[in-house]
Structure 1
């Protein structure tokens, strides 16, 4: 409607009728966000109707929706009269545009003008406080709500619950909800959302059941939150909630469909997730991201890439969360090439300054690349690295073997004021354990105590693991006893580390510690205790653990079955080992290795090789440990040619790169077979620097074949590598003695005594 049309209308109609028409026109345009409605503004001014508050408030809302904050504020400033609706409308416009600080300034001006706020005003102010992190000011607003007698307002009550939940003040949120006499769908949903946000999935589901019993009808937003909780609780809960949603006839919109897809994806039912996604034709970037994230967890990389391409073909552009899911998929599947392509797409999309995406890039390059240069380059490009950025860097450096650099990065992180979280601390503690640095571990422990991070069970478990890994069993046990809370991981980690440092007796003593703490064994802890019993050849305790595994049902765990096979094998009870092995429904490579190890320890050479063949026929791929067992068996049986054949088949047939231990076996085979020159030739071809064990193996072979000149050369190399190791002198003395040179043997023995 133009100004001229309005003038013609006023000629035919009375002023009240004109006001009514204008009101209807502006209201209609405001509800549908039609910019044509502002054409009413001009005739209103000409006819002196600018003090008509209902019309002015509708025009203010229309300006904010269609012409932006600047024009809306200009209109607001020219309004001759303003009521609570005017002020709240302007405040709401600022909040919707994420101009939270300006919104609070409007609220201050409103309070100064003497206009009393209503529930909608306070709701917008609370949203601004949440966004700005203004907890104290938000609590003052709560006090004002009580002062104005608005605490029974349902919408405001929901806003207060959301506000306290944002700041993890869940007790206050629960008290507020408990004081609401007749909660509506919004308030119930807000409380359920607060539990979901806090990770209290079971409480969220119980509250949903109470909501239904109270006769309050859930809506699509309620179900979206309940599906989020069900994704963590398990499939059976998700299916029940899905069935209830269908029973109530809730319409499947995009938000709800995305929540259901995400739930099924988390429960590793990607087929069901895709089926739900196709129930309606509507797709958006959030739904595609949920599908891609689900495929990344359970499917092949090709399917993830196909979904990403299908999304783009449909005309939907990926956002930062989509790229996050793609980068996480690249990390999971160790696909560096695709990761680099996604990196280039991130740059093209202008997301290279998005912190979560940059963090995912650091993580991807650390996990997928053999070098750390690309990850470091991305990290240095982050303007303000947060704790996740630093943790990804520290974890990656430690994983690549740069534990000292990881520790230096941790120190630098704290120096610039970024506080570590529990994952950062557990990661750097593992790095210090790998460094065998008692000093660094003690410093970290002090830092953890000062920041009271030792109350976190994850950090406590990492400290126990670090001290036990350093061989400081007493400190590890003291740490366990001082922890406020202990779980199965605490004791399993302690037992595993004690086994690794050879303190098997102490490892078995952990059983009583667990019992005193009323912590039940799981498959992993029981397997650790079986390993300790096997290392001590202690069948009495081993049989008790076997009985416990049967009574508790843990014997169905593959880790426990493998531990039992290893126990009976090491204690030379091969028939028992075979019986346990036969009860395993699907033996894995560890199962087969345990059986072969037991056979090898009994000297049953032919059975070792036949078991190896059976493993291959069963479709189980051998690993590096398998070939250590096979090669060691060849050494014991003097089967040099067969051993060489197995060694060469590692790379050629089984795609396993030989490690240093395999080369030690190869040199031992050649040395025992008298092929000392070939054994020396291996030193120059293997991709590792020879260590002491290789030189000792060669020196023993020189003694066997009385090759004094070569033995002296090998002994010299070994002493240069480790001058403080007396084993080389003893082996050389034995070589002289065995070769009929007692004078040189005596001279070498004197040298050992003189050197102390």
Structure 2
């Protein structure tokens, strides 16, 4: 009765429905001329219902249904099934169920229609209930019902239920139908059981092109590239038809193979032979494969041959320009940005992937202004809340140093996944906001998010830069607990953390325990030995790296050259410098050349170092001249040092380092008046010297000091301990010619010793607070001075304690009155 009322309502309102977009035949059938009979036959109603089902126009379908009731038409079962199918296709499963329950007679099509309707609207549980009801009602279920249920198992990953359906298929005698064979292969592969999928394939009574392509997709899905190629070869031998999806999937899987470029070219030939070289899906896969292997010319050729590239093809090419494993050239990145402009000229609508790829290109090319323009388009298209675009924007602003904008982008993403959090943490580490990085990591854990290996790597880098080894060890313990310690990236960060904290032994142990070392692992360990003055260890490790067939990169050679520089090995350093270009095809950058300048300068070959700068092509870079200026001070070449300092001041008028070095050089030579002029020049130009800051980690706390600092709660005890230590080393200093600075007993000199540098205060606190067996590790933001270096040697001898002092350039490990740098720094 309620159903009848509903239809009466439809009949009463049907005349008021707008027919401006109604097909002509609807107007003819539903609003006939007055002199025509209003009744229609099953065929006419069926055509109307099938038309509405195709267009998914629910209002038109209801009008047809209402018309059938108004003229009291008695539909056959075939027409009733079409009516049920119409409601299901239009998404009105509630009324479809009502109609189904009132059907006087149902067949297999009726049950299949309702099951399909529930699946289309996402109600898989209801679809499963209907399937069970059909079996309980002894309905003869056909292969399409079983195929539909296997599709549910594929989407949900319900292997247990899938096996039950498989058993019913066999019992029902449908296992020989190729349609169900393909459904079973798809179900098992999506549930991660490639062995079962292969068994179904091998035991099938009949196979078609879909069967082979489904099996290929299954192997591609789990990353078995070599097995995928074997199946593709068998298909080719049996002359089976390959579709574009299968070939595109195979091309994507080939990128993991060592010989992926060769294999890709072979498949490319196959693609051309079967006539799919213009297919956009296959074309985008080819572009991606060539780009990943560095064959950008081939990728560009494929792109240019595409007659009508769509957004997906453009995205593949843009991303291809940003996927080079070697150093990115700005010319290539500009090509990517040019493609984005071409997309806009063609009137294409960029996708989320387009924007994220273009933003990555802006990051690589340091095209921050262009990136900001892209950001405005992202905002215009209301895509700023996308997590992938949000991460790319965070990287953009982090790389440009705009952390405030980076945080604004971070908080504008409502769904902050772990990638977004990691991007923000990495940006903080990159811009030396280490405390903010640690705070973000704490927030991740507090809201119950699970960090990944990249998050762990970034936060350990923050601990490394702060020399917070205790905090780093706690994070390492967390990584072990969740199983991230096996990842190479975490092992590399752990090496870096221990190295930056001055614990070279722990770094070496971590390196030896790593199962999968990459070039970053070797480079990190070589650099660690170099910074700690272990020159021979660094060179031996480099030789071992070559024996293991690991190709060094720019960072590796920078570590080796640094080791040679700190060890005074001129010939060996030049040998590595030449090998870098000759044997590995790596072009030295300004940092490598600065190492050579430092190497020559420390060896006293100041003229050679200056000639090297002038011929290096980097004579415009202040880093090169600053390395020479430091050597001029070491060897007391005041005249050359003054000229070099003048050159640096022209290149970097606001940088204080060159002024300070020249000032100290004049003081060392006893030229007080010239030193005073440099100090006055700094005042006139508004150049301020960066204050010296030292810090030490005691337990879970970090204690920092500046020169003459008395703000610490234990200040009285610290100065008392320092007084005690200075009294001890005076006795040793009198017996050594190398420490004549300490032989001045005047009150003024004594006062200067007490108004000590920050590292002395930090060491004194370490002597008080740390156990005798624990080394004292102090970090400083400026280079250690000669007086403090000598003092630390004497402290290590008088107190019988190991002291590790890190400055921005290297580590000094003091033991028994000696330093690991051998006074060569």
The TM-score with structure 1 as length reference comes to 0.74
Shift of 1:295: 4.4
Q: CA RMSD in A?
A: 5.0
Shift of 1:672: 5.7
The correspondence of residues 51-450 of structure 1 with structure 2, limited to 5 A, is 51-53=76-78, 55-58=79-82, 60-61=84-85, 80-96=104-120, 103-104=127-128, 107=131, 110=134, 114-115=138-139, 117-129=141-153, 131=155, 137-138=161-162, 141-142=165-166, 144-145=168-169, 148=172, 150-151=174-175, 153-166=177-190, 168-180=192-204, 182-231=206-255, 233=257, 234-250=260-276, 252-269=278-295, 272-273=298-299, 275-279=301-305, 281-297=307-323, 299=331, 303-368=335-400, 370-450=401-481
Distance, in Å, in 2 between the alignment partners of 1:65 and 1:682 is: 83
* Contact 2:150/2:165 (<8 A) preserved: yes
More divergent stretch after superposition (143-152 vs 308-317) = 143-152
Is 1:452 the equivalent of 2:483? yes
Distance, in Å, in 1 between the alignment partners of 2:788 and 2:438 is: 40
Cα offsets for 1:468-524 (capped at 9, x unmatched): 443444444544555555556544433433433344565567589979xx9544325
Q: Which residue of 2 aligns with 1:542?
A: none
* Contact 1:671/1:679 (<8 A) preserved: no
* Contact 1:572/1:598 (<8 A) preserved: no
Cα offsets for 1:70-106 (capped at 9, x unmatched): 7766765665544444443444455455565665565
More divergent stretch after superposition (170-179 vs 341-350) = 170-179
Unaligned 5+ residue runs, structure 2?
1-24, 695-705, 709-737, 765-783, 792-825
Distance, in Å, in 1 between the alignment partners of 2:790 and 2:631 is: 29
Distance, in Å, in 1 between the alignment partners of 2:338 and 2:786 is: 64
Structure 2 vs 1, CA of residues 251 and 393 (structure 1 numbering), >3 Å: closer, same or farther? closer
Structure 2 vs 1, CA of residues 374 and 591 (structure 1 numbering), >3 Å: closer, same or farther? closer
Q: Which residue of 2 aligns with 1:667?
A: 663
Structure 2 vs 1, CA of residues 379 and 583 (structure 1 numbering), >3 Å: closer, same or farther? closer
Structure 2 vs 1, CA of residues 601 and 453 (structure 1 numbering), >3 Å: closer, same or farther? closer
Shift of 1:626: 1.8
Q: Which residue of 2 aligns with 1:627?
A: 625
* Contact 1:650/1:658 (<8 A) preserved: no
3-state SS, counterpart of residue 522 of structure 1: coil
More divergent stretch after superposition (222-231 vs 345-354) = 345-354
Distance, in Å, in 1 between the alignment partners of 2:427 and 2:574 is: 45
More divergent stretch after superposition (423-432 vs 150-159) = 150-159
Is 1:642 the equivalent of 2:668? no
Distance, in Å, in 2 between the alignment partners of 1:663 and 1:121 is: 84
Is 1:534 the equivalent of 2:564? yes
Shift of 1:689: 1.6
Shift of 1:245: 0.9
Distance, in Å, in 2 between the alignment partners of 1:691 and 1:311 is: 53
3-state SS, counterpart of residue 523 of structure 1: coil
Distance, in Å, in 1 between the alignment partners of 2:647 and 2:318 is: 43
Q: Which residue of 2 aligns with 1:744?
A: none
* Contact 2:526/2:560 (<8 A) preserved: no
Distance, in Å, in 2 between the alignment partners of 1:128 and 1:666 is: 77
Shift of 1:354: 2.9
Q: Which residue of 2 aligns with 1:588?
A: 588
Distance, in Å, in 2 between the alignment partners of 1:364 and 1:107 is: 52
Shift of 1:418: 1.5
Q: Which residue of 1 aligns with 2:551?
A: 522
More divergent stretch after superposition (147-156 vs 234-243) = 147-156
Structure ranking higher in helix proportion: 1
Shift of 1:223: 1.6
Shift of 1:279: 4.2
3-state SS, counterpart of residue 76 of structure 2: coil
Unaligned 5+ residue runs, structure 1?
538-568, 735-756
The TM-score with structure 2 as length reference comes to 0.68
Shift of 1:683: 5.6
Number of matched pairs: 681
* Contact 1:715/1:728 (<8 A) preserved: no
